[in-house]
Amino acid sequence: MSRTKRSAFAFFSGLGSSVVTLLIGLMSTPVLLRFLGDERAGTFRIATEWLGYLALMDFGLGGVLQATVARRLGHNETSKALADVRRAMRLFARVALLQLAALFFFGLTARWLISGLSTEALFELRMGLLVSAIGTVWVPLAALRPLLDGAQRSYWVNAALLVQSLGTVGLSILFAWWGWGLTGQFTAALLGSAAYTFFLFRLVSRVFPDVWRPLSDVQPDKFPPGWPMFMFNLVGRFSIMSDGIILGAIQGPGEVVRFYVTQRLMLVVVSQVQGIGNATWAALADLHHRGESDIFRHRFLQLNRWTAILAVAGLGPLAVLNERLISLWVGISRYGGDALTWATFGQALLVAQVALWAWPLVGGGMVKLVLPVMFVGSILNLILSIVGTYILGLVGPSLGTFAGYLLVYYWWYPRLLQKEFGLSRISIMSPLLLATALFTPIGCGLWSVSQYFPNGFMGNRIMDFFAWGMMAGTGGVIYLCLAWKILIPLKERQRWPKRLSRR
């Protein structure tokens, strides 16, 4: 299977997986809000963001391992890649102990980290954290995933994530219905994580059976320093995964629910667009390591153009119709407002594009060059988000993220790519501007059409929701057709079918 076909398969498998996950999430969120209430639902969301920082306690080991394994497999050094993974599993066992200590620390300090938390919710949160501690047992197996990613078999990872998502959502609803509260939500997350890890374990054992058979004549090399990757992940998480923490500390868990559901549909879309980078980084790294610079630059600019187009196609119609969709989904009282919607739209566009720009630098081992960009952007984002939340309320964190990306990342990353890879800054930055400009008349037309149809025009809330969803989808398809003709060069349109059909 060719690099193009593997990358496309990985991307579309992830897209299909997320469509299923989105549909289940659409159905489960109103149910969970009804069974849990806004305080518990918001508290679980805040706790999830805090616990996301546990992944950083590998101090860059995961990122270093991913780059190392990709390079090994690209050079057909499979035995050395397996030796690296075995060594990493031993190191991840130490990471598990650090994560266990962090879980207990968060439980002790949660009263001060989440504003207005009731005594009952605090008790359930602490019990849930004790349940989560069980998951540290299989942390060492996190070292297995880079083997599938590096071999461009991310579609298997997507399948495992789908199994995890389905299991977690189903159990979350069941435990909420039984009245287990926050403890039940953590239990569902634990069981879903166990299913994902078991699935991953079986897949890697089948694709790389020698991973469990150490060879005495193959010794792993010493890993390069992981602190650049650690700092990269840390400031990256500060940039886009701290909004709930800030809102929870300042305004409480109830506002976190409004913020989360208002952004939810658009953030699902942007996560799929980011999947372009996740699905193609191994192939791009392979081209770079082989010295095929011209092909690398050509492929990257193609992906850059498609990332902008797909991001606008997915996010634009949702932003136009977001109020209608949210009001039908969870009720108008939980809609965070038009300002939050459009701030999220701008934020999501920039996040999707910048994520792709970071991959060549990170995959090429140039994390140290990226760190100043991310540090400045994250500090600016954090300051603006906190100040914005105090002054503007709910929209503050999203505006802070948008401003940070626009003022720092959007112009700094293209300079680095031009310097290191010879890419034109105009070629990097212009696709997003052109893609957004092309959507403007379509967005205005979609909004005008929507004014002729009041909520309830289908006579059923569920049918109304899917009717508005179909309208958003139609707007996206119309936009894609125009973008294909206007924004994609003729030669590229002619080449794509041939490349995808290549074995």
CA separation, residue 78 to residues 61, 73, 308, 487 (Å)? 19, 6, 35, 41
Q: Within 13 A of 265's CA, how many CA atoms are on the CB side?
A: 30
503 vs 307, which has greater pLDDT? 307
| Residue 497 confidence (pLDDT) | 67
Query: Tell me: the pLDDT tens digits for 340-359?
Result: 999 999 999 999 999 899 88
| In the predicted structure, residue 23 carries a pLDDT above the cut 80 | no
Here the tokens at position 168 are 């977690």
Best CA proximity match to 274, nearest among 308, 299, 302, 243: 308
| In the predicted structure, residue 320 carries a pLDDT above the cut 80 | yes
Q: What is the mean pLDDT of the chain?
A: 86
Concatenated DSSP letters of 173-205: HHHHHTT-HHHHHHHHHHHHHHHHHHHHHHHHH
Query: Tell me: the pLDDT tens digits for 191-238?
Result: 999 999 998 888 888 888 888 877 655 566 667 667 777 777 777 787
Q: Which DSSP symbol is given to 423?
A: -
| Residue 112 confidence (pLDDT) | 93
pLDDT band at residue 278 using 50, 70 and 90 as cut-offs = low
| Residue 349 confidence (pLDDT) | 95
C-alpha to C-alpha distance for 252 and 33, rounded to whole angstroms: 16
Average pLDDT over residues 24-34: 87
C-alpha to C-alpha distance for 52 and 261, rounded to whole angstroms: 19
CA separation, residue 138 to residues 91, 190, 361 (Å)? 13, 11, 31
| Residue 501 confidence (pLDDT) | 61
Q: What are the counts of helices (DSSP H) followed by strands (DSSP E) for the chain?
A: 18, 0
CA separation, residue 198 to residues 48, 90, 225, 306 (Å)? 22, 18, 30, 35
Average pLDDT over residues 161-172: 88
| Residue 274 confidence (pLDDT) | 78
Sequence-ordered alpha helix ranges (H) in 333-460: 338-363, 367-392, 396-404, 410-421, 425-450
Query: Tell me: the pLDDT tens digits for 358-387?
Result: 888 877 777 788 889 988 998 999 999 999
Residue 386, number of CB atoms within 10 A of its CB: 17
Q: Which residues contact 53 (CB under 8 A, 6 or more apart)?
A: 102, 237
CA separation, residue 58 to residues 90, 220, 273 (Å)? 12, 18, 27
pLDDT band at residue 8 using 50, 70 and 90 as cut-offs = low
C-alpha to C-alpha distance for 351 and 340, rounded to whole angstroms: 16
| Residue 416 confidence (pLDDT) | 94
Are 405 and 354 in contact by the 8 Å Cβ rule? The answer is: yes
Query: Tell me: the pLDDT tens digits for 97-120?
Result: 999 999 999 999 999 999 989 999
| In the predicted structure, residue 332 carries a pLDDT above the cut 70 | yes
Helix/strand/coil for 2 = coil
| In the predicted structure, residue 88 carries a pLDDT above the cut 80 | yes
C-alpha to C-alpha distance for 410 and 425, rounded to whole angstroms: 10
Distance between start and end Cα atoms, the chain = 5
Least-confidence region, from 117-121, 163-167, 275-279, 352-356: 275-279
| In the predicted structure, residue 182 carries a pLDDT above the cut 90 | yes
pLDDT band at residue 474 using 50, 70 and 90 as cut-offs = very high
Query: Tell me: the pLDDT tens digits for 42-85?
Result: 999 999 999 989 888 888 888 788 778 877 877 777 888 888 88
Long-range CB contact pairs, 74-79, < 8 A, 24+? 74/150, 74/282, 74/285, 74/286, 74/289, 74/290, 75/289, 78/208, 78/210, 79/210, 79/215, 79/218
pLDDT band at residue 279 using 50, 70 and 90 as cut-offs = low
C-alpha to C-alpha distance for 131 and 437, rounded to whole angstroms: 49
